[in-house]
Structure 1
Amino acid sequence: MISGAPKKRDSVQEDDWMTTYGDMVTLLLGFFILLASISKVDMALFEQVQAGMAKGMGKRDIETPIENLKQEMKEILVQMNVDEVSSVGSDTSGVVIEFASSSFFEPGSATLREESLPVLRRVADTLNADVYKSFQVEVQGHTDDTPIHTQQFPSNWELSAERATGVVRFFIADQMVPARLRAVGLADVAPKVPNLDPFGNPLPANREINRRIVIRVNPSRG
């Protein structure tokens, strides 16, 4: 019995590091939660860090709704054969889905193309899933810098706003809760790439890139 006592103490000493490690991970997790509560945090990055730390503490089932939604949307766009005129990414707030305006609307029009409706329906059905029902959805309309002067659209502001509103109306018709939705018309004030070259000449390819519909999906912060 006496010879067995040192082995027991050695076993206890060997396990001491786990207590220290657990304390360190808990402190780090608390630090990141504190950052999230007092500052604007990259939600997608924070989710990844939180999941990584939780796994380090031995937890297997980690919720990563932002990353899951991003992957689901990518699969939908590939399945619907619109991945060449769309993209899915993330920013500091959540998931960003972009569609070329030409795939949704005729030039100078805010009426949704018939072929765009199945794509929007898949997007809406996914966002209506229980796991994403607390997410807020903002639809942005963007144009290039080419002026428009019609009775219906005196400027690009009206055109971009009506296009964003058309998508929102479709989502509402697909049973999405209106309180989750926002429609924003940004005309040509937020281009992805320059509409003109340094000499003031138009860049048709860039203008096509700037004509787009952007759907931003962000976790609600209550």
Structure 2
Amino acid sequence: MSLISPSLAQRIEQARQAQLRAQKAAENSGWRMSQSKSAGGKDRYARWHVDEAIEQDSENWLLSYLDLITLLLAMLVVMLAISRLHGFPGESKPVELVGSLAASGLPAYDGEYSEFDKVAIPPEWAAPEATAQAAAPATASDGEIVAEAAPPLKAPSKESLGLADLGKSVDVIVNEQSVSFRISNELLFASGQATLSPAGLDVIKRLAAILNKNEYQVSVEGHSDTVPIQTRQFASNWELSSSRATSVLRELVRDGVSAGRLRAVGYAETRPIESNETPAGRAANRRVELIMDITQPPKAAPAPAPAKS
């Protein structure tokens, strides 16, 4: 006999069924929430997420690109090798005759058009190589060039240049290429100055008379010793030697020598003719030289400028 009444047992069973339904409902609601969360997260990060399989497929083009570059490089190497083997376009290679052909030459042509070989070709139609070969000097049997030797240059005499009346104040050096007029600075200038003295003016006038007898080019060169100079007018021996050469040039122009024949150069102490260790050597190095170049043909005097109206 049951101690629990049917009505109580029924209520207990209903409560248990309700509890089971509530548990199932809770489980169902939890599953839906997880599904919604996973779906929402997927929607939120879907555009930032890249599948690994897609990334692997996207790198396949790189392999094809590298294969193409490798093929192009190989083709360039082959083309370069072929060009080196056969020569570049337009490049002519010398033809060498070997053996008996080089000694005896090519056989004469006696074919159908052999009579045209006997026609004389005017010189102006000849090829440049043939013209140059014809103009070349004749060669001897042993291969040496036989040419007419140019007559050696002969040093002019002082009489032919009109130097007899120059006196002993100027040293004249005559050779096959030039005539040098060497004047001591002590005769031309005061110490540390670039203005010609009265004695220097007289010497330059006599030199101008000599130079006016010809039309050779003349270089006026100033030289000094190694003793340094530093004044308000001349900062070094370069300025002093250049100014002295320019003073002589200006005086030559005043005395009638054409300015187109002259140039002035200052060498300072860079071209000594004696040792600078002694007073006599330093005095010899302090000089002005007029060098007349006799190897070049005389330069024609420029035409006078038209007078201004």
TM-score (norm 1): 0.63
What runs of 5+ residues in structure 1 fail to find an aligned partner? 1-28, 34-44, 49-65, 197-202
Compared with structure 1, are the counterparts of its residues 213 and 69 closer, same or farther at alpha carbon in structure 2 (3 Å cutoff)? Answer: farther
Superposed CA offset, 1:15-47 (max 9, x none): xxxxxxxxxxxxxx94024xxxxxxxxxxx712
Find the counterpart in structure 1 of residue 78 from structure 2: none
Query: Unaligned stretches of 5+ in structure 2?
Result: 1-146, 300-309
2:292 is the alignment partner of 1:217 = yes
2:153 aligned residue: 46
Q: Is the 8 A contact 1:70 1:88 kept in 2?
A: no
**Does the aligned pair in 1 maintain the 2:161–2:210 contact within 8 Å?**
no
Whole-angstrom CA distance in 1 between matches of 2:242 and 2:263: 11
Following the alignment from structure 1 to structure 2, what is the Cα–Cα distance between the partners of residues 152 and 93? 36
Other-structure match for 1:173: 254
Given residue 104 of structure 1, which amino acid in structure 2 is its aligned partner?
A: L
Q: Distance in 2 between matches of 1:175 and 1:115?
A: 19
State how far apart, in whole Å, the 2-side matches of 1:136 and 1:67 are. Answer: 18
* 1:67 corresponding residue in structure 2: 157
What letter corresponds to residue 226 of structure 2 in structure 1? D
Alignment identity in percent? Answer: 34
- The match for 2:149 is 31
Q: Distance in 1 between matches of 2:148 and 2:241?
A: 43
In 2, Cα distance between equivalents of 1:115 and 1:205: 21
Within 5 Å, give how 1:189-200 maps onto structure 2: 189-196=270-277
Q: What's the counterpart of residue 244 of structure 2?
A: 163
RMSD: 2.2
Q: What is the distance in 2 between the residues matched to 1:183 and 1:142?
A: 11
Question: Could you say if the C-alpha distance between residues 189 and 123 of structure 1 is closer, same or farther in structure 2, counting changes exceeding 3 Å?
Answer: same
What's the CA shift string for 1:123-155, capped at 9, x where partnerless?
1012112xx12x001111000000000011000
Structure 1 residue 93: Cα displacement? 2.1
Q: Work out which structure has the larger RCO, using CA pairs closer than 8 Å and 6 or more positions apart in sequence.
A: 1
| Counterpart Cα distance in 2 of 1:188 and 1:69 | 33
- What is the alpha-carbon distance in structure 2 between the residues aligned to residue 127 and residue 148 of structure 1? 32
Residues 138, 182 of structure 1: 8 Å contact kept: yes
Which one has the bigger strand percentage?
Answer: 1
Which of residues 185, 207, 217 is equivalent to 1:136?
A: 217
- Cα 1:163/1:69, change in 2 over 3 Å: farther
Q: What is the identity, as a one-letter code, of the residue corresponding to 1:46?
A: L
Change (3 A) 1:77 1:90: same
Matched, 1:149 2:230: yes
Q: Which protein is bigger by CA-based radius of gyration?
A: 2
**Counterpart of 1:209 in structure 2: which amino acid?**
A
Count of residue pairs the alignment pairs up: 152
Q: Please list the CA deviations of residues 33-67 of structure 1 after superposition, one character each: whole Å capped at 9, or x if unmatched.
A: 4xxxxxxxxxxx7125xxxxxxxxxxxxxxxxx32
Cα-to-partner distance string for 1:151-203 (whole Å, 9 max, x where unaligned): 1100000000000000000111112111100101000000001112xxxxxx1
